[in-house]
Amino acid sequence: MKDRYANRKYLVMALVLVAALILVARLLYIQIVDKTYRVSAANNALRPVPQYPARGLIYDRNGELIVYNQAAYDLLVIPVQTSAFDTARFNQILGITMEDFSIRMKAAVSYSRRAPSVFMKMISSETYALLQEELYRFPGFYVQARTLRKYTRPLASHLLGYVGEVDNKLIARDRYYRSGDYIGISGIEKSYEENLRGTKGVTIFLVDVHNNIKGSYAEGRYDTVAVPGTNLWSTIDLNLQEFGEKLMRNKTGSIVAIEPATGEILALVSSPSYDPELLVGRVRSANFSMLQADTVKPLFDRALMASYPPGSTFKIMNGLIGLQENVIRPSSLFSCSMGYHAGSLTVGCHSHDSPLNLPQAVAQSCNAWFCNAFRNILENKQYPILGEAFDHWRQYLVAFGFGNKLGIDLPNELAGNIPTRSYYDRYYGKDRWKALTVISLAIGQGEIGATPLQMANMAAVIANRGSFYIPHVVKKIGDDGSPAPLYMQKYITGISPENFDPVIEGMEGAVNGGPGSTARGARLDSIIICGKTGTAQNPHGKDHSIFVAFAPKDNPQIAIAVYVENAGFGSTFAAPIASLMIERYLTGEIKRKYLEDYVLNLVIRPDAKE
Amino acid sequence: MQRSSNILGRLDWVTVILWLVMMIMGWLNIYAAVYNEQHTSIFDLSQRYGKQLVFIIAALVLAVMVMVTDNKLWFFFAWFIYGFFLLLLILVLIFGNEINGARAWFSIGSFGLQPSEFTKFATGLALASFLNAQRQSTGWRVMAPATAIIMAPMVLIALQPDMGSVITYFAFFVVLYREGMSIYVFISAMLAATLFLLTLMLGNVPVASGLMVMAVIALAVTSGSMLTIKASGVMAVTGGLSYLAGHYLLGLDIAVIIVVAVLLAGVVYLWFIYRQKLKMPAVIYAFLISGILYLFTVDYAFHNILQPHQQTRINIMLGMETDPYGEGYNLNQSLISIGSGGFLGKGYLNGTQTKFKFVPEQSTDFIFCTVGEEWGFVGSVVVIGLFVWLLLRLLMLAERQRTIFIRAYGYGVFGLFLGHFFVNIGMTIGVMPVIGIPLPFFSYGGSSLWGFTILLFVFLRLDAGRSEYLG
């Protein structure tokens, strides 16, 4: 058969030769003609060096610095570059033994002989100063600057949180982080990590075969500049925080103080606490294990993570809901004969005048009054079945922020618990429970749980007469910034402002009233404090003492919740602590030295029994 | 045994020796590329060089197995083999493992098998079988199905997506060219591929302008200067007027104006050609118009149909996204390592770039860096020389065939080796965009080594039995 296209093989052959020629010509150019590659034959390796930005600073609400940065240095080693040197002197500077030296050196060698690895982390500036002078004598070693957190006062450790190295799981998930990077692990450091961390930069150096830096690569074309982290302005009043932590010393519990008009948290105390410096730098992991092993749980942030039954402080809620649902009036009278009696059921009460109206019942914390009120709420004829009335009751509580996380800008907040209708339906059978079945809810006991934060928020809602901003701890992101948008949004609870008047009157009476009032220990001559005591039942030991309050009565500046664990009745300890906090915040000083000394000298062992 | 010794006698030993030399050189370079002081034994099976040795031994076995087959097997089962590997390509889309964003691998224990490496020889067989039956008739009735045979695996591989492998299939157009595909279709295909890349790399407007300049040059070459001046004048005036009208009177988008201007200029120009009864200018013009329409389609499809991550992938493939830790960095590193090799190289195992492992994928797609750095210009030229020798040898073998089947298959083998050789080495020295395809017999990896070995030895077997009647 005739091959009509036989001549085409020549073009194909030419194609091969042209392709080869192009490649050879290009190789000739880059390998022999072009000087740039020949020059870089000596120094052709690149070393990207990350540039760590300074982490954002944290100020208190008055502009006082709380957290700043100190320089620290990682000592790096490139094993192939080391040669014989005075190891004795070297170890002396670093304060390590010869044995320690060999272990670290072996670890570095097993990582890589040619790549730099960390020989010693976070050397102090003092050691660095010594080392720097003699570093030329230790070939193969060089330092890389890092920043560590430093605190102006040993305060607010739970709130601020701490910074540590990223773990491998996060490195796999988030491309920003590389092994050895720092990240906020708890508190503000965690929730505002993206603001505080800034943006890492990178400088790419040309290094020779001996890994000595020969200059910047491509005239810095691929370098990026580190952007420092954003400063944060906390809502915390550092002086008030310090005072609160002092008052809570030798006690277990927490204080949450909020500015009602804004939802800004003024103080957030959880006791026992720890010095934030313990969790910085090289000592961090050892101290962390020590704190974690401690039986009093200093790492546990009780203000956000402990849920207690609110006890009598919860009567306020039932009073407000009853008024709003029109099932009680401020003037409603209920009698009390040492308690509430219905058939075989008795809810005991202490001795006081009878009958009482709403303000008096709040002031004297009458159990019987609120059992009646609660029964009226649930047996409301407006609703066809009791379960529906219960749903409405629960909705008011949810609107106050109970039963769900409030959404504070700190990690690990607890939701607390407000039982649901379906919970009781499951427990007792559908609609087979009555007001009396769940009567303990009337006085804040039973299946109910709330965090100190939620209780302080309740006090803020009352101070505001029905509305609130979600409590938060950062008021400005950046020196001229604003809080996160979530915290600029006002929430309303569905209780009409006028319904707060009789309750507030009762809370005023509790502190400032005559005999029978439960919280006279919190009274302050110059300022009208409105408060309510409570006692959280504790199955494991002595009951917890609770006090919620706000002040002054008109134009409130501070709302507060104080919990003292195992301290018994709320009036005994929680009330004076709250009172001192209010005095300190509103007047800037403490006139009642005797009360301050009394509280400071109190020691309440966490294992106290009744 | 009479028959098998005949086969060995007729086997083209030059090619076999080239094949062996390349595999051994590849192995030594893989050893240099992944060399580290903890594992200095070249036979260490935990390292890539150890594994590559296993792959090479398996390749030898494969080669022997192919040699003991009968030519009739490849001829009669060409379509069956083709169908089988297409099926594997479908299965890998369903059951395959995703590695580096492409579903291209079957995992068998710790080894991965990449079916697209084997589909190459199957496609070559099917194409050869088809063309053999056509007896060099070259109408579109022949060339369209032939193109479809090439396109089917391309489409399936594009779905993985492994665009690097897809591009290698364009090599089969060499077969079609040799067997009589119209020179114009051939040029169109090449042009389409070039335009595709150019459009994505440079943008549509510069490429369109470039095409127009080329059209004018083509006109000048084919039709004499007077006619060129007249034709260009007609086009320029019409184009310019419609551009001005579109831009200043209608305020249209630049891309739209250019298309309209070219089309309008074209209509006037066609009328001019018709009046003069010219054939060549008409052809040139048809190329120009279809080229411009095509590149605008590519541009539109790229920016409006592909997802952003697919765009990024293609951009990275084209080496367009420069990122200090991304592809731009790779190319730079590759250039530094080859460029620093100089005339004689730094010597075996003395490559600093190689040792510091600055070039990613150095044992696979960037194996040529090791050659360039440690063996220098001399070594590089030797490797290129080996490939040229192999390619020309393959051409010679293909040309001595009496059946179209073997010749067409041989051209397919030739085309694939040429494509891989040029694109792979080209990308390491910056004359081609970074496209992830291996350098035959050099790059680390079982699938590619075995794929290329089968590809080559089926041809050598066919060549050894070329006097047999295939019927």
Residue A127 inside a domain? The answer is: no
Given this model, what pLDDT does residue A42 score? 47
- For the four alpha carbons of A581, A585, A588 and A591, in that order, the dihedral sign comes to negative
Mind telling me how many Å the CA of B395 is from chain A's nearest CA?
Answer: 8
Shared-domain flag, residues A428 and A546 = yes
In A, which residues are within 8 Å of B329 by CB distance? Answer: 222
Residue A118 inside a domain? The answer is: no
Given this model, what pLDDT does residue A352 score? 81
Q: In terms of Cα–Cα distance, which of B396, B438, B394, B400 is closest to B414?
A: B394
Which whole number is the average pLDDT over B347-356?
A: 68
Shared-domain flag, residues A220 and A268 = no
What chain B residue is nearest to A45 in terms of C-alpha separation? B353
In A, which residues are within 8 Å of B418 by CB distance? Answer: 15-16, 19
Given this model, what pLDDT does residue A41 score? 47
Q: In terms of Cα–Cα distance, which of B54, B170, B168, B68 is closest to B118?
A: B168
The whole-angstrom separation of Cα B200 and Cα B318 is 8
The whole-angstrom separation of Cα B275 and Cα B227 is 13
Residue A281 inside a domain? The answer is: yes
Cis-peptide, bond into residue A411, ω within 30° of zero: no
Is pLDDT above 80 for B361? no
CB pairs under 8 A between A and B: 119
Residue ending a domain, among A234, A261, A295, is A234
Which whole number is the average pLDDT over B207-221?
A: 76
In B, which residues are within 8 Å of A9 by CB distance? Answer: 178, 395, 399
Other CB atoms within 10 Å distance of the CB of residue B25: 19
Q: What is the mean pLDDT of chain B?
A: 81
Shared-domain flag, residues A461 and A588 = yes
Which whole number is the average pLDDT over A61-76?
A: 88
Shared-domain flag, residues A270 and A189 = no
Which whole number is the average pLDDT over B401-416?
A: 93
Shared-domain flag, residues A230 and A341 = no
DSSP-based three-state secondary structure for A553 = coil
The residue type of A493 is: T
Given this model, what pLDDT does residue A584 score? 94
DSSP-based three-state secondary structure for A535 = strand
A19/B356 touch (CB, cutoff 8 Å), yes or no: no
* pLDDT bucket at B2, cuts 50 / 70 / 90: very low
In A, which residues are within 8 Å of B333 by CB distance? Answer: 46
B381 touches chain A (CB under 8 A): yes
Given this model, what pLDDT does residue A2 score? 67
Shared-domain flag, residues A228 and A242 = no
Other CB atoms within 10 Å distance of the CB of residue A479: 13
Shared-domain flag, residues A290 and A437 = yes
Cis-peptide, bond into residue B161, ω within 30° of zero: yes
Is pLDDT above 60 for A610? no
* pLDDT bucket at B355, cuts 50 / 70 / 90: low
A5, A13, A46 member nearest B358 (Cβ): A46
Q: What is the CATH classification number for the domain harbouring A215?
A: 3.90.1310.10
Given this model, what pLDDT does residue A211 score? 56
How big is chain B by its Cα radius of gyration, in Å?
25
A21 touches chain B (CB under 8 A): no
A339-342/A345-348 β-pairing: antiparallel
Among A residues 62-121, those touching chain B with beta carbons less than 8 Å apart = 113-114
The whole-angstrom separation of Cα B151 and Cα B129 is 16
**Domain coordinates of chain B in residue numbers?**
2-179+378-464, 199-305
The whole-angstrom separation of Cα B386 and Cα B392 is 10
* pLDDT bucket at B335, cuts 50 / 70 / 90: confident
* pLDDT bucket at A471, cuts 50 / 70 / 90: very high
Among B residues 149-178, those touching chain A with beta carbons less than 8 Å apart = 174, 177-178
Phi, psi of A345 (to 5 degrees): -85, 135
B343/A38 touch (CB, cutoff 8 Å), yes or no: no
CA B279 to chain centre: 33
User: What is the extent of the structural domain holding A223?
Assistant: 49-75+147-234
Among B residues 357-376, those touching chain A with beta carbons less than 8 Å apart = 358, 372, 376
The residue type of A280 is: V
How big is chain A by its Cα radius of gyration, in Å?
34
A201-207/A45-51 β-pairing: antiparallel
The whole-angstrom separation of Cα A521 and Cα A571 is 7
Shared-domain flag, residues A450 and A391 = yes
Which whole number is the average pLDDT over A246-262?
A: 93
In angstroms, how far apart are the furthest CA atoms of chain A?
Answer: 126
Shared-domain flag, residues A255 and A222 = no
Shared-domain flag, residues A225 and A252 = no
A18 touches chain B (CB under 8 A): no
Which whole number is the average pLDDT over A196-207?
A: 82
Residue with tokens 């009646």: A372
In A, which residues are within 8 Å of B382 by CB distance? Answer: none
The whole-angstrom separation of Cα B422 and Cα B387 is 10
B377/A113 touch (CB, cutoff 8 Å), yes or no: no
The pLDDT tens digits of the residues spanning B123-156 come to 999 999 999 888 777 777 888 899 899 999 999 9
Mind telling me how many Å the CA of A114 is from chain B's nearest CA?
Answer: 8
**Contact criterion met (CB below 8 Å) for A492 and A466:** yes
CB-count burial class (<10 Å; 0-12, 13-18, 19+) for B144: exposed
**Contact criterion met (CB below 8 Å) for B447 and B118:** yes
Mind telling me how many Å the CA of B136 is from chain A's nearest CA?
Answer: 8
Among B residues 209-228, those touching chain A with beta carbons less than 8 Å apart = none
Given this model, what pLDDT does residue B357 score? 55
The pLDDT tens digits of the residues spanning B275-308 come to 766 677 777 777 777 777 787 787 777 777 666 6
A34/B339 touch (CB, cutoff 8 Å), yes or no: yes
Which span out of A128-142, B232-246, B441-455 was modeled with the highest average pLDDT?
A: B441-455
In angstroms, how far apart are the furthest CA atoms of chain B?
Answer: 85
A27 touches chain B (CB under 8 A): yes
Angle (CA) B166 B168 B171, round 5°: 125
* Residue A309 vs residue A285, higher pLDDT: A309
Given this model, what pLDDT does residue A555 score? 92
| Number of domains present in the structure of chain A | 2
Q: In terms of Cα–Cα distance, which of A405, A412, A408, A406 is closest to A185?
A: A412
* Residue B255 vs residue A497, higher pLDDT: A497
Which whole number is the average pLDDT over A533-559?
A: 89
A19, A41, A202 member nearest B422 (Cβ): A19
Shared-domain flag, residues A324 and A253 = yes
* Residue B245 vs residue A126, higher pLDDT: A126
**Contact criterion met (CB below 8 Å) for A426 and A447:** no
Which whole number is the average pLDDT over B60-71?
A: 91
DSSP-based three-state secondary structure for A482 = coil
Among B residues 412-471, those touching chain A with beta carbons less than 8 Å apart = 414, 418, 421-422, 425-426, 429-431
Considering only A32-36, A180-184, A193-197, which range has the smallest mean pLDDT? A32-36
Residue A369 inside a domain? The answer is: yes
The whole-angstrom separation of Cα B343 and Cα B373 is 10
Is pLDDT above 50 for A158? yes
* Cα separation of the two ends of chain B: 24
Residue ending a domain, among A234, A250, A281, is A234
Given this model, what pLDDT does residue B316 score? 54
A41/B340 touch (CB, cutoff 8 Å), yes or no: yes
A46 touches chain B (CB under 8 A): yes
Among A residues 197-226, those touching chain B with beta carbons less than 8 Å apart = 202, 204, 209, 218, 222
Q: What is the CATH classification number for the domain harbouring A555?
A: 3.40.710.10
B356 touches chain A (CB under 8 A): yes
Shared-domain flag, residues A277 and A218 = no
| pTM, to two decimals | 0.59
Residue with tokens 């042209």: A18
SS (H, E, C) chain B: CHHHHHHHHHCCHHHHHHHHHHHHHHHHHHHHHCCECCECCCCCCCCHHHHHHHHHHHHHHHHHHHHCCCHHHHHHCHHHHHHHHHHHHHHHHHHCEEECCEEEEEEECCEEECHHHHHHHHHHHHHHHHHHHHCCCCCHHHHHHHHHHHHHHHHHHHCCCCHHHHHHHHHHHHHHHHCCCCHHHHHHHHHHHHHHHHHHHHCHHHHHHHHHHHHHHHHHHHHCHHHHHHHHHHHHHHHHHHHHHHHHHHCCCHHHHHHHHHHHHHHHHHHHHHHHCCCHHHHHHHHHHHHHHHHHHHHHHHHHHCCHHHHHHHHHHCCCCCCCCCHHHHHHHHHHHHHCCCCCCCCCCCCHHHHHCCCCCCCCCCHHHHHHHHHHHHHHHHHHHHHHHHHHHHHHHHHCCCCHHHHHHHHHHHHHHHHHHHHHHHHHCCCCCCCCCCCCCCCCCHHHHHHHHHHHHHHHHHHHCCCCCCC
Residue A564 inside a domain? The answer is: yes
Element (H, E) at A256: strand A253-259
Tokens of A430: 């559908």
DSSP-based three-state secondary structure for A215 = strand
Residue A130 inside a domain? The answer is: no
Given this model, what pLDDT does residue A608 score? 53
The pLDDT tens digits of the residues spanning A330-349 come to 998 888 888 888 877 888 88
Buried b / exposed e over A454-469, threshold 16 CB at 10 Å, is bbbbbbbbbbbbbbbb
Considering only A193-197, A501-505, B348-352, which range has the smallest mean pLDDT? B348-352
B342/A38 touch (CB, cutoff 8 Å), yes or no: yes
The residue type of A77 is: V
Residue A87 inside a domain? The answer is: no
Q: In terms of Cα–Cα distance, which of A569, A320, A302 is closest to A450?
A: A302
Q: What percent of chain A has pLDDT over 70?
A: 94
* Residue B242 vs residue B121, higher pLDDT: B121
Tokens of A213: 């830096």
Mutate to test the interface with A, among B132, B336, B405 (most CBs of A within 10 A): B336
Is pLDDT above 90 for B234? no
B336/A202 touch (CB, cutoff 8 Å), yes or no: no
In A, which residues are within 8 Å of B422 by CB distance? Answer: 19, 22-23
Residue A132 inside a domain? The answer is: no
Mind telling me how many Å the CA of A120 is from chain B's nearest CA?
Answer: 24
Residue A73 contacts by C-beta under 8 Å, 6 or more apart in sequence?
Answer: A122, A123, A125, A128, A143, A144, A145, A146
The whole-angstrom separation of Cα B439 and Cα B122 is 20
